[in-house]
Structure 1
Amino acid sequence: MTHQVHAFEPPERFVAGTVGEPGDRTFFLQARGGGRLVSVALEKVQVSLLAEKLEELLTEAHRRFGVELPETPAAPSDNEPLENPVDEEFRVGTLGLAFDVDSATVVIEAIAAGESEVGLDLPDDDEDDDIDDEPDDDLDRLRVRLSPQAAREFIDRARRVLSAGRPPCPLCGQPLDPQGHLCPRHNGYHR
């Protein structure tokens, strides 16, 4: 099976964004460059973790390699919606991060979800645990190389996109619908 690697080194634009109304949003990573536009779908928690781990990676690169960290932008640098058409290339199963010391850039790799990630596949006791039905090399991927400044701008935008959703319940942390919700901390009663 052939796979595609969508590489943007560096992209003209790389952002996290959503399509849909709060409570029914689909999250995307979108990269544009060289006349190409690639959008990949992922979960809200993946966007949140990507922003968090990117921040940690930049801090660690500064500590270990002396990389200059850009300031957090005072004003949003990119507040535009996702570019059309938003055609999902694949759904992200795995995200990878690395810091390239030679070029002082951050490398983000979004790898498509394999069939084994769709359902819960538990190996039988008599199967060899080292057998992998679908190695990562056979999966589509999006690879982006960002400067520390571009990574900081991505983090800032991702956090704004995440906070634009439904507000969390102050008691249980689950998202509130406009009508409220059945909070487990109130034993199922509305407040």
Structure 2
Amino acid sequence: MSTIVHEHDWPDRVVIGTVGRPGARTFYLQARTGRRLTSVALEKQWAASLAEKIDEILDGLMTEDDNRFSVPPRALPELLDDDPVEQPVEEDFRLGQMRLSFDRSTAQVVVEAYPLVEVESEEEAERLEREGTLVPEEELILRMPVGTARAFAERARRVVLAGRPECPLCGRPMDPDGHVCPPLQ
């Protein structure tokens, strides 16, 4: 079986967005190139981590002595995308593993995303890995120029922070329907 590759090189749009209300949101990494749209479901922590790691790569490039990539220190306003994810969201896969790199030959941040692989047991996973048959059914390869990557990271941070407010007493998320602090230990 061959892997279905969703490739977006210089995408027209790439965002982290959500569907649902705070406390019950599903996060998506969504990329569109022309009429091709890819939606990958991911955990909130993946979205936060991706934004952080993209900024680390870009900040690292800015400090290089021979930096030739014109990395903006902040997201340029004209590149920020505040629109919701494109509807209807048709999930291509749920994120299980990700790799992030920088391609110096094209000055692009490269995100490789692979689906969550469910196995019956740890022994089965080890066997599949030994046999080399743990090949993902799908993968996303996303290549973004540095300005787009900076704006993508900024939006991802804002989306993550737009969840439920924290309780000032216990620090746990407060639901719109009410909140009861856990008993103090």
Q: Is the pair's TM-score, using the shorter chain for normalization, greater than 0.5? A: yes
CA distance in 1, matches of 2:169, 2:132: 43
1:32 aligns with 2:32: yes
Match of 2:143 in 1: 145
Matches within 5 A, 1:169-180: 169-170=167-168, 172-178=170-176, 179-180=178-179
Letter in 1 for 2:116: A
Distance 1:74 1:104, change over 3 A: closer
- Give how far 1:123 is off: 3.6
Q: Which moved more, 1:168-177 or 1:77-86?
A: 168-177
SS of the aligned residue for 1:61 comes to helix
Unaligned ranges ≥5, structure 1: none
Distance 1:100 1:41, change over 3 A: same
Match of 1:111 in 2: 114
Matches within 5 A, 1:85-104: 85-104=88-107
Letter in 1 for 2:156: A
Unaligned ranges ≥5, structure 2: none
Whether the 8 Å contact between 2:95 and 2:115 is mirrored in structure 1 is yes
Distance 1:63 1:129, change over 3 A: farther
Whether the 8 Å contact between 2:169 and 2:181 is mirrored in structure 1 is no
- Give how far 1:130 is off: 6.1
Distance 1:128 1:24, change over 3 A: closer
What TM-score does the superposition give when structure 1 sets the normalisation length?
0.83
How many residues were matched structurally?
Answer: 180
- Give how far 1:19 is off: 0.2
- Give how far 1:22 is off: 0.3
**Percentage identity across paired residues of the two chains:** 43
